[in-house]
Amino acid sequence: MVERHRIKMPTLGWVRLKEKGYIPVNATVRSGTVSQKAGRYFVSVLIDVQESYEQAERGDGIGIDVGIKDFVSASDGQVFGNINKTSAIKRTEKRLKRAQRALSRKYEQRKRGEKSATYRGSNIRKAVLRVQTLHMRLANMRSAYRSYVVSLLVKTKPAFITLEKLNVKGMVKNRHVARAVSNQGFYDFKLKLLSACKKYGIEVREVGMFYPSSKLCSCCGHKKVQLSLKERTFTCENCGISLDRDFNASLNLKQATEYTVLT
Ligand SMILES: [Zn+2]
């Protein structure tokens, strides 16, 4: 048994290691020998390292499914939620709404010829600035999140990243969805991803809009005839596998053979 700072040896029990973190912790120890040299004890172990899932995926390509429920689901198991559902964003949005209402109230008062400057901070110029600041803060938070997601995606240095051509027009069916889509900043995300991938020499593959990434079974290739948006779990009628809908889509994107190379 090995931990980062100590090793368990037969008859001796736990022995502290001078060199921490040298021996992989998740390894199975096959055999070990202890030697003494210049008054110091050395332990050498023969180990079997089990490649973890992430390590196996590294160097391989990844597929990413971009969406509204979750921002990005990657085929290596990484999931990045929608930042617009977080309390930090919601709180700032609420403050923005309040500031916008206060501003329009001041405009109305002026139109009616009422005096608005009855208390400190009530003038219009300040209210405009408050609205602008909050708009900017929201934009910054969202943009920083996109950069963060991109940085973690390229961090594993995959051979390629495959994503679907963004069909923003098709996504925008109603006003609320339109707002949700525009707040995600998919286009900006793609630009950021492209520039990061160029920097690190990662191929970016774009799959056409008609590739049925959500309807295919990533395990056996069986295509579902119908899959409603409400179904968050993909269950294959052919092989019986059951996967998260977006994860299944990301695996299909990774496996896609027809694509355009963007980098
Ligand atoms: Zn299947």
Instruction: Output the pLDDT for position 27.
Output: 66
CA distance 146 to 125: 32
User: How many angstroms is it from 216 CA to the middle of ligand 1?
Assistant: 8
Beta pairing class for 242-244 and 233-235: antiparallel
Q: Which residues are catalytic?
A: 65, 164, 246
* Contact criterion met (CB below 8 Å) for 86 and 78: no
Per-residue buried b or exposed e for 161-194, using 16+ beta carbons within 10 Å of the residue's own CB = bbbbebeeeeeeeeeeeeebbebbbbeebbebbb
> Is the pLDDT at 95 greater than 80, yes or no?
yes
- Give the angle 79-186-65 at the CA atoms, nearest 5°: 35
* Contact criterion met (CB below 8 Å) for 154 and 197: yes
Q: Taking the domains of the chain in order of start, what are their residue ranges? A: 6-50, 54-261
CA distance 7 to 223: 51
Residue (of 68, 136, 62, 66) closest to 99 by Cα position: 136
CA distance 175 to 172: 7
Instruction: Please compute the mean of the pLDDT values over residues 30-41 and round it to a whole number.
Output: 74
Instruction: Please compute the mean of the pLDDT values over residues 176-197 and round it to a whole number.
Output: 89
CA distance 68 to 202: 25
More confident residue, 216 or 120: 216
pLDDT, tens digit (0-9, with 9 covering 90-100), for 139-186: 999 999 999 999 999 998 899 999 998 766 666 666 777 888 888 899
pLDDT, tens digit (0-9, with 9 covering 90-100), for 150-160: 999 999 889 99
DSSP alpha helix (H) spans, the chain: 53-57, 87-111, 124-155, 168-171, 175-184, 186-200, 245-255
Q: What percent of the chain has pLDDT over 90?
A: 53
User: How many angstroms is it from 218 CA to the middle of ligand 1?
Assistant: 7
Longest dimension (CA), the chain: 93
Tokens of 236: 């294959």
Tokens of 147: 């950069």
> Is the pLDDT at 47 greater than 90, yes or no?
no
> Is the pLDDT at 189 greater than 90, yes or no?
yes
* Contact criterion met (CB below 8 Å) for 7 and 14: yes
Which residues have C-beta under 5 Å from ligand 1, the single-atom ion?
217, 219-220, 222, 236, 238-239
Instruction: Output the pLDDT for position 81.
Output: 95
User: How many angstroms is it from 237 CA to the middle of ligand 1?
Assistant: 7
Tokens of 56: 């196996």
User: How many angstroms is it from 163 CA to the middle of ligand 1?
Assistant: 21
DSSP secondary structure of 146-199 = HHHHHHHHHHT--SEEEEEPP-HHHH--SHHHHHHHHHHTHHHHHHHHHHHHHH
